[in-house]
Amino acid sequence: MKKKVLVTGGAGFIGGHFVQRMMNRYPDYHIYNLDLLTYAGELSKHKNMEKRENYHFIKMDITDRKAIMVLFAKEKFDFVVHFAAESHVDRSIINPEIFVRTNVLGTQILLHAAHQNKVAKFVHVSTDEVYGELDFDPTIFFTEESKLLPNSPYSASKASSDLLVRAYYETYGLPINITRCSNNYGPFQFPEKLIPLTISRVVQEQKVPVYGDGKNIRDWLHVFDHCSAIDLVMHEGVNGEIYNVGGHNERTTLEVVKTIIHKLGKSESLLEFVKDRKGHDKRYAINPTKLEKLGWIPNFSFEIGLTQTIQWYLDNKWWWNKQL
Alpha-carbon distance 193 to 153, whole Å?
A: 17
304 CB-near residues (< 8 Å, 6+ apart)? none
Active-site residue identified among 42, 128, 133, 231: 128
Alpha-carbon distance 284 to 153, whole Å?
A: 17
| Catalytic annotation present for 129 | yes
| Catalytic annotation present for 205 | no
Could you tell me which residues are beta bridge partners of residue 150? Answer: none
* Alpha-helical runs (H) found in the chain: 13-25, 65-75, 89-94, 96-99, 106-116, 153-172, 194-203, 223-236, 253-263, 289-294, 302-315, 317-323
Active-site residue identified among 35, 129, 219, 250: 129
| Catalytic annotation present for 154 | yes
Active-site residue identified among 131, 154, 168, 169: 154
Alpha-carbon distance 185 to 84, whole Å?
A: 17
Report the chain's terminal Cα–Cα distance, integer Å: 44
Sheet holding 55-59, edge to edge: 55-59, 30-35, 4-8, 79-82, 121-127, 176-181, 242-245
18-23-29 Cα angle (round to 5): 110
Active site residues: 128-129, 154
